[in-house]
Amino acid sequence: MSIRFSYRLLGLLLVGASSMSVSLAHSIHQANNPPPLGTQEVGISPCGPDDEIGRLNLITPASRAAILSRLDGSKVYDLATDYYLGMPSWQDAGDPHYQFWMTHTPRGTEVDDPMGVGKDMNAVRSYTGTAFSMYSHTGTHIDALNHFGIHGKIWNGFKADEHLGDRGWNRTGIEKFPPLIARGVLIDVAAAKGVDMLPDQYRITRQDLKDALARQKTVLKEGDIVLIRTGRMKLFNDPKAYMNAPPGMGLDAARYLVEEGGAMIVGADNLSFETFPSEVPDDYVPLHTYLLAQQGAPIIELIALDELSKDKVYEFAFIGGPLKIRGGDAAPLRPVAIPIR
């Protein structure tokens, strides 16, 4: 059975309607007991067979205009991390570290004269150039819908055998994402529990989210970009500590955000949004499977939320966009949050 959903149905959920698609209702009740991996299927878009952006279809000219018309502008919050040598990433899984090196220095150009302009010109111009390389899921980034799939298929039924080549995916690549302009919501779970940082491997529940939202007096709306603060970013400059046994979201909590809260994008300040080991025996990344492959909901990871928490800014305009890497499964993101009136 294909998992099909309707953005209209999500609106009905918000007002407590009792009629909804069988697959969506069933998934809510089976939050911690998803179907066995062998019977799971990817989500099929209500926007048609060519849809490559899933829930990002909720971004419309009207939705952009609505949030931009409310900008306060007195302060802007930078939600991106720095990139530095040795920073947290997925090197333990064999992925490349972030690397940074000089390609040109003022003294070096005088010696080598790479542009053929002569020593005197090089001495005057003091040319500096750099290069860097990294795994695409390094630092603040957003996952594309092709990042995880089920049995060789990804969101909307696209097959790896047909659409994944030596140059990446020709469907659902990160370059297909539109500029991300929407209402952003911070759910400060750490603050709601009265701690600076959630304990190692703490799994955030549906009730944790509800309690934090009630404390903040915040109501989720369809199309929100919902960001979860665990407090883990306090360890970002200590890579081993940051990466070791991080807290994260539980599957039922993720279902709550999308199916009842109407979230368009979800994110957190930890390494992988969810926590490990998995709560689902036959899926080591059940939240990625559910969000990306079945719901078409992108995931933001390693997003810096401490300043928003400090100032108790829970609703804001989220503005950002990933690098347009053709065929990519993720890309760095430089998001900002601007308070709204």
d(CA 295, CA 166): 27
Which pairing describes strands 203-204 and 248-249: parallel, antiparallel, or unpaired? Answer: parallel
**pTM for this prediction:** 0.89
Say which DSSP state 249 is in: E
Q: Please report the domains of the chain, with CATH numbers, ordered by start residue.
A: 3-88+136-339 (3.50.30.50), 99-133 (no CATH)
- pLDDT tens, position by position, 9-46: 333 333 333 333 333 333 333 445 667 666 899 999 99
Question: Which residues are paired to 82 by β-bridges?
Answer: none
Residue % of the chain over a pLDDT of 90: 88
- Region for 247 from its dihedrals, namely left if φ exceeds 0, alpha if ψ lies in -120 to 50, beta otherwise: beta
- pLDDT tens, position by position, 223-260: 999 999 999 999 999 999 999 999 999 999 999 999 99
The answer to whether 249 touches 204, Cβ cutoff 8 Å, is yes
Among 22, 110, 8, residue whose Cα is nearest residue 57: 8
Average pLDDT of span 280-304: 97
Cα distance between the two ends of the chain: 44
Mean pLDDT score of the chain: 91
pLDDT value for 33: 62
Longest dimension (CA), the chain: 78
- pLDDT tens, position by position, 73-110: 999 999 999 999 999 999 889 999 999 999 999 999 99
* Other C-beta atoms lying within 10 Å of the C-beta of residue 80: 17
Average pLDDT of span 5-10: 39
